[in-house]
Structure formats: structure tokens, C-alpha cells
Amino acid sequence: MSNVRNQISSRLHPLADLLVSHISGCPARDHKERTWSAHTLIAASTASMIAGGAALYLATSSAISLWTIILAYMGCIVLAGSIRYHQTVLMHHAAHGMLFKSKPGMDSDHPTQAGQHGKDPRNLRYASIASCMFLLPSPEDYHEEHIAAHHKTLRIFATTADPDAAFLLGLGFIPGTSVAKQRWLLLRTLLSPRLHARMAWQRICSAGRPSMARKIGVMTTLSMLLLLILLEPAFGAMLTFALFPVVHCAALFQFTTEHLWFSPMLPGESANCRAARLSHARFSCDPTPSSRLGWIRWWARLLTLHLTMRVLALNGDLPQHDMHHLRPNADFQKLGALRWELYDNDIETREYWGYGAVLTAVMQHIEEAGK
């Protein structure tokens, strides 16, 4: 960790600093991270999703005004961000067998459960239910792409063969493409109805695999959504918009900046060295400004742009995703403490402050990767 976080802490009141810890995703040195139970995390993210849905309902039940537009914006961000939290945090760590951890006598004898989601069968059970309810990739598909390829195979990680990198490659993010062209490509992709339709169809098909029970669950979710559209057209349309296009935009923001993509293997490179070289922290906050006017701008950006990106795309432990690759067995709710430990031992990690900074860095790397 650089000295940026210490500089921010030195200029703020402790309560303001605590707020920055939560919004930025980078805890202050004296901020003690807490480990919540899996049930608490699932309940909190589901409650957040319901709150987002309630905001959308209120926004669509009133005449259009500035406040209803703001409420609709907040509802979409919170609802889509909560669904992404289920996928990128809870389902992700369930796939690693780290969400639920088995107690004595709870080990699963089923080879698929033990091999794909750890020994505790609750990991696979939760991932299956969440996949059907929120139309997310099935646990089997997620395991195949994320665990079997992205994590386990060193020669694939962050190369064009990595499923995550291949997704970006398919969108046109080709090594050697200029930064300016990549920015235009990202904007065009975010606004592409064809892409959103394709991603929605892929999600639905994946969520319904491989059992009949999963297919019934997906059909139930889709039927309820269709019924809602028929009974409450405005609310149903906004809910569909948040569930599909907004969630897809969040995924694009996350995937684009997750690693320094399209990097070939270096001779003699170890797994840890490669993970450290191609991974980084993404904190939703700017470095400290130098003037009073700069502080006004700093707070305005923190409470608007950075907060939006934190809730929508970089939620949970995603700001510290590099720590997950460096210490995959560490408690994912205490990665900040692990980063401070590395910092105190003079072990450097790459970090970017603000989404714009990390997006520019990754795009510059993609441009240089083609040379």
C-alpha cells in the first residue's frame, strides 16, 4: 500500500475517515475489519436488493420529477450492485469453498460438491439458488471458467486463453488497440442493445443448466418478471432494465480493469510473481487535494462518481482483488489488514486511486501488449 491512504487519514476527522474506508474499499490502518457470517452477508445483500427495488417502485409510482429521476438512478445502482455482489463476492467465494466452511460432521461425500465448492455442501446449494433467482451463471459454468482456468492454470491466467480476457477480446479489445479507440469501444459496448440481449440470453441459458430443477427455477423467475411487467409496466420495465443492462454494464466495468490483460508468460515466472505483476488494487477515491477548492471537488467526486462505482461494480472485496490472487486462502473480509501487513514488511503492491486511473492504466497496457 502506498502512502496515499495515510495522507487521507491525516487530513480527515475519524468519522469521515471511516466513511472513506467503506466507500474507497481501502480501510485506514486503525480500521478493524470484521468477519460477518455467510448468512449475514446473504441477508444484507438481499435486503439491499429489496431496498433498490422499493426505490424503483416509488420512482415509477409518481409523476416524473427531479426527485423521481434521482430515486430511479439510486434504485438501479443499488439493485444491480446487490445482484453483482451475489455473483462477484458471494458466489465467487462459494466457488472457492470460502463462503461457508464445513464444521465437523458436515463434510460432503459428493465428489462434485467437494471438488467444485469445497467440502461444505452449502456453498453449492447457495450458488445454485442464487443462480436461478438472479439469472446468473450456473455454479458449474462459473467453476469451469473461474476456478479451472482463470485461477488454476498459470499459462492461461490473464492471457488471451483466459475466459475473462477472451470475453474482452471478443468485444474488440485487441492487443495493440490505441487507448482512444478502446475508450470509444467501451462506450459503444455499454450502449449496445445487441450485446445486452446476448449477455441476457447467455445468463438465462447458463442458470438453467444442468438439472430440471434449475430449469424450473429459472422459468419461475422469468414468469414472475413477466407477470410484474404486465401488472406494473413502468416498474417491471425499470426492474428489467436494472436486472439486465445495468448489471451487464457493471460487469463490463469490473472485467475491463480486473487485471493487466493479454500478458504472455515470462521465462521462469512463478504463479505468485505473475499474479503480483498482473494484479492491482482499485480504490474508489482520489488522492488528497492541495487546496480548499480541491477538497470540495474531492468530496463531490467521492459521494457521487466513486460511491456509484463502489456500489455498482467494485463492491465487496473487489477493490482488493489482487490480495485474493496473492493469498487465495485468506479471509476475504480482512484483505485490508493483509495489505497493511505487506506494506509494513516493505512488500509493494500496485494500486490505483479512482476508476479513471485504473481504466487508463489497463488500456495503456493493452495498447502496449500488441507492440
Based on its alpha-carbon atoms, the radius of gyration of the chain, rounded to whole angstroms, reads 21
* 3-state SS assignment for residue 367: helix
Residue 9 phi/psi, 5-degree rounding, is -60, -40
The tens digit of pLDDT for each residue in 21-74 reads 999 999 999 898 999 999 999 999 999 999 999 999 999 998 889 999 999 999
DSSP code for 142: H
Q: Which run of H or E residues covers position 278? A: helix 271-278
Count the neighbouring beta carbons within 10 Å of the beta carbon of residue 121.
19
Residue 164 phi/psi, 5-degree rounding, is -65, -45
CA gap 231, 236 in Å, rounded: 8
pLDDT number for residue 113: 39
For the cut 70, the answer to whether the pLDDT of residue 117 exceeds it is no
pLDDT number for residue 101: 84
For the cut 60, the answer to whether the pLDDT of residue 107 exceeds it is no
Q: Which bin fits 307, alpha (ψ -120 to 50), beta or left (φ > 0)?
A: alpha
- Mean pLDDT, all residues of the chain: 90
Q: What is the mean pLDDT of residues 111-135?
A: 79
For the cut 80, the answer to whether the pLDDT of residue 284 exceeds it is yes
Residue that has been written with the C-alpha cell 401488472 in this structure: 231
pLDDT number for residue 66: 93
Lowest mean pLDDT among 105-109, 127-131, 243-247: 105-109
CA gap 274, 208 in Å, rounded: 35
pLDDT number for residue 108: 43
| Cis preceding linkage at 210, omega within 30 | yes
pLDDT bucket at 116, cuts 50 / 70 / 90: low
For the cut 50, the answer to whether the pLDDT of residue 110 exceeds it is no
CA gap 166, 159 in Å, rounded: 8
pLDDT bucket at 103, cuts 50 / 70 / 90: low
pLDDT bucket at 158, cuts 50 / 70 / 90: confident
Is the whole-model pTM more than 0.85? yes
The tens digit of pLDDT for each residue in 224-254 reads 999 999 999 999 999 999 999 999 999 999 9
pLDDT number for residue 264: 82
pLDDT number for residue 246: 98
* 3-state SS assignment for residue 352: strand
CA gap 312, 171 in Å, rounded: 21
Which amino acid appears at position 221 of this protein? T
CA atoms within 13 A on the CB side of 263: 21
pLDDT number for residue 142: 87
- Residue 99: partners with Cβ closer than 8 Å, 6 or more residues away: 38, 41, 90, 93, 122, 123, 126
pLDDT number for residue 118: 63
* 3-state SS assignment for residue 39: helix
Closest Cα partner for 364 from 203, 180, 212? 180
pLDDT number for residue 351: 94
For residues 120 and 134, the answer to whether their CB atoms sit within 8 Å is no
CA gap 126, 106 in Å, rounded: 15
pLDDT bucket at 114, cuts 50 / 70 / 90: very low
pLDDT number for residue 187: 96
* 3-state SS assignment for residue 264: coil
Beta-strand ranges (E) seen in the chain are 281-283, 351-353
The tens digit of pLDDT for each residue in 309-364 reads 999 999 999 999 999 988 888 999 999 999 999 888 888 889 999 999 999 999 99
Q: State the first-to-last Cα distance of the chain, in angstroms, to the nearest integer.
A: 30
- Cell numbers representing residue 240 in the block: 428489467
For the cut 50, the answer to whether the pLDDT of residue 109 exceeds it is no
The tens digit of pLDDT for each residue in 69-100 reads 999 999 999 999 999 999 999 999 999 999 99
